């Protein structure tokens, strides 16, 4: 049974990519991996994957090629740069970019893939490192429906079946991810401000959180990140520097479409203040510290 599964290529073995690639391998797919630095490749090879020297080589050896790299320029380089995927891609192959990048670039690269007889899906994820390890990621997919059906068994190795959502055509997955980050930013901001008020007024924010969890103010942010704010436990999780990057993409996309967004814009300013304070390596929920400092509280 295993040898009937298609070979999958995986490029980008960072904090998210490593556990995602492991799950694809564990699901029985023959796996070819590439990464800029060698160490994470060796770990995957020990687990049964094969190494490729370049993204082009991955594309020559695998009909399904997944990319999971930090930012828009990284995807452009890995896909369309020298020794990139486009140099090795075979007609009929499917590229699945699971990084979080600009929707406009996702659309452009998908068009270039199509010109080469291949398909390219944008399929960014939400759920963080824990979701990657446990295979419970949410996956927001933009692009051709038939290409999605071909790669769905691979996506199901990384995400929960009911959380793999076909949002729309190319770029729609990235657009949904931008929406996701805007909602997260606004909610984190609101929870941070509420906790700052409670603390400053001498009220226990843990009691406030408990009360709010029972009503319409309930959010996963209040539950999970709110607890982190109470514990002041900001080991990522999801690094603020990446959240800042995602929000830059989201705000550029808002501007491109002329959508004023005062609430999430204010939240983005607070995340920017984390970067200004050199706190980009902390979990993004540490944005609460920015608000606590603004309020003159111990952070």
In the range 87-116, which residues lie near its own copies by CB under 8 A? 103
Q: Give dist(CA 117, CA 226) in Å, integer.
A: 47
Distance CA 11, CA 80 (A): 13
Q: State how far the Cα of 280 lies from the Cα of 271, in Å rounded to an integer.
A: 9
Site string for its own copies, 63-92 (x = CB under 8 A): ------------------------------
Candidates 219, 236, 242, 244; binder of its own copies (CB under 8 A) is 219
Check binding of 270 to its own copies (CB under 8 A): yes
- 34 versus 107: smaller Cβ distance to its own copies: 107
216 lies in the binding site for its own copies (CB under 8 A): yes
Residue 224 is a binding residue for its own copies (CB under 8 A):
yes
Minimum CB separation of residue 2 from its own copies in Å reads 29
Among 128, 135, 143, 280, binds its own copies (CB under 8 A): 128
| Residue 239 CB, nearest approach to its own copies (Å) | 14
The residue among 57 and 193 lying less far from its own copies, judged by its C-beta, is 193
Binder to its own copies among 43, 83, 265, 275 (CB under 8 A)? 265
Contact status: 53 vs its own copies (CB under 8 A) = no
Q: Smallest distance from the beta carbon of 6 to its own copies, in angstroms?
A: 26
- Contact residue for its own copies among 43, 80, 165, 275 (CB under 8 A): 165
Backbone angles phi, psi at 285, to 5 degrees: -70, -15
* Phi, psi dihedral angles at 213 (to 5 degrees): -60, -25
Does position 203 interact with its own copies (CB under 8 A)? The reply is yes
291 binds its own copies (CB under 8 A): yes
SS (H, E, C) 238-293: CEHHHHHHHHHHHHHHHHHCCCCCHHHHHHHHHHHHHHHCCCCCCEHHHHHHHHHH
Tell me the C-alpha to C-alpha distance, in Å, between residue 27 and each of 8, 20, 24, 198. 11, 11, 5, 47
In contact, 103 and 79? CB cutoff 8 Å: no
Check residue 201 for interaction with its own copies (CB under 8 A).
yes
Q: Give catalytic status of residue 200 as yes or no.
A: no
Task: Please state, in angstroms and as integers, the Cα–Cα distance from residue 199 to each residue in 49, 77, 205, 233, 283, following that order.
Answer: 51, 47, 6, 17, 21
Under rule CB under 8 A, residue 200 binds its own copies: yes
Task: Tell me the pairing of strands 8-11 and 31-34.
Answer: parallel
> Does position 138 bind its own copies by CB under 8 A?
yes
When asked if residue 35 is in the footprint of its own copies (CB under 8 A), the reply is: no
What tokens appear for 23 in the block?
């799950």
The residues carrying an active-site annotation are 177
């Amino acid at each position: 049974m295993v040898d009937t599964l298609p070979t999958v290529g995986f490029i980008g073995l960072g904090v998210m990519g490593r556990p995602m690639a492991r799950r694809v391998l564990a699901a029985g797919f023959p796996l070819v991996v590439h990464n800029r630095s060698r160490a994470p490749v060796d770990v995957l090879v020990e687990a049964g994957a094969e190494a490729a020297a370049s993204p082009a080589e991955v594309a020559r050896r695998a009909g399904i090629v997944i990319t999971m790299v930090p930012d828009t320029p990284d995807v452009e380089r890995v896909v369309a740069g020298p020794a990139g995927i486009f140099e090795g891609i075979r007609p009929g192959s499917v590229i699945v970019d699971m990084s979080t990048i600009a929707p406009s670039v996702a659309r452009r690269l998908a068009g270039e893939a199509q010109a080469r007889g291949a398909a390219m899906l944008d399929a960014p994820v939400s759920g963080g490192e824990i979701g990657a390890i446990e295979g419970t990621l949410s996956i927001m997919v933009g692009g051709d429906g038939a290409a999605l059906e071909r790669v769905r068994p691979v996506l199901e190795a990384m995400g929960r079946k009911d959380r793999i959502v076909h949002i729309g055509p190319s770029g729609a997955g990235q657009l949904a991810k931008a929406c996701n980050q805007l909602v997260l930013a606004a909610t984190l901001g609101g929870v941070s401000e509420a906790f700052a008020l409670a603390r400053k007024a001498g009220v226990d924010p843990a009691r406030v959180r408990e009360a709010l969890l029972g009503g319409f103010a309930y959010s996963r942010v209040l539950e999970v990140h709110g607890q982190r704010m109470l514990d002041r436990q900001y080991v990522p999780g999801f690094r603020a520097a990446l959240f800042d990057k995602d929000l830059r993409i989201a705000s550029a996309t808002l501007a491109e479409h002329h959508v004023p967004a005062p609430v999430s814009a204010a939240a983005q300013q607070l995340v920017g203040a984390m970067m200004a304070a050199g706190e980009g390596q902390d979990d993004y929920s540490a944005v609460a510290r920015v608000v606590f400092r603004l309020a003159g509280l111990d952070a």
